[in-house]
Amino acid sequence: MSWLDAVKWNEQGLVAAIAQDAEDGRVLMMAWMNLEALKATLARGEAVYWSRSRGRLWHKGESSGHVQRVRDIALDCDGDTVLLQVEQRGGVACHTGRRSCFYRHLDDQAWREGEPVLKDPARTYAGKNDE
C-alpha cells in the first residue's frame, strides 16, 4: 500500500492542508491539495497547493516570495487533513500581508482584526495575482 492510499480525497480530489509554523506552532493558513500538489510538495520540500480559483497548482510564494519550506508532513486520524510544519520565509503567509490568515478574532459578536499588516500587499503583488 502506498502512503498516498491513506489520504481521503474529497469529491473534487482534494484534501485540506493546514500550514503551521514549525517553530512556535502558530497556524498560518489553510489551503487545498490535490494528488499532484502533495507529490510536488514532497519532491520540492516547499509547499505546493491546488488553487481552486485559478484551477492550477500554486507554489506558495511564487509571486510574493513568501515560500513555505516544509519540515514535516502529517496526516490526521481520519486521513482527510494534511498538516504541514513549515518555515515561513519572509514571515508573511497571508495575501493581506499578515503573518497568518487567521487574524480576525470574534469579539462581542463582531470580527476584529487582531494582527498588523507586516508587508503592504499592494507592493508585494504589484502586477501579480494574489496568493
In a domain, 48, yes or no: yes
CA distance 129 to 68: 18
Percent of the chain past pLDDT 90, that is, above it, reads 82
In a domain, 122, yes or no: no
User: pLDDT tens for residues 45-89?
Assistant: 999 999 999 999 999 999 889 999 999 999 999 999 999 999 999
In a domain, 127, yes or no: no
CA distance 103 to 94: 9
In a domain, 24, yes or no: yes
- How many domains is the chain partitioned into structurally? 1
List C-alpha distances in Å: 12 to 65, 72, 92: 29, 25, 29
For the entire predicted model, the pTM comes to 0.88
Percent of the chain past pLDDT 70, that is, above it, reads 94
β-bridge partners, 87: 69
Question: Does residue 123 register a pLDDT over 80?
Answer: no
CATH number of the domain that residue 13 is part of? 3.10.20.810
> Which structural domain, as residue segments, surrounds residue 55?
9-117
In a domain, 125, yes or no: no
Report residue 110's pLDDT band, with 50, 70 and 90 as the boundaries: very high
In a domain, 126, yes or no: no
For residue 127, the model assigns a pLDDT of 47
For residue 125, the model assigns a pLDDT of 59
User: pLDDT tens for residues 5-22?
Assistant: 999 999 999 999 999 999
In a domain, 26, yes or no: yes
Question: Does residue 129 register a pLDDT over 50?
Answer: no
In a domain, 87, yes or no: yes
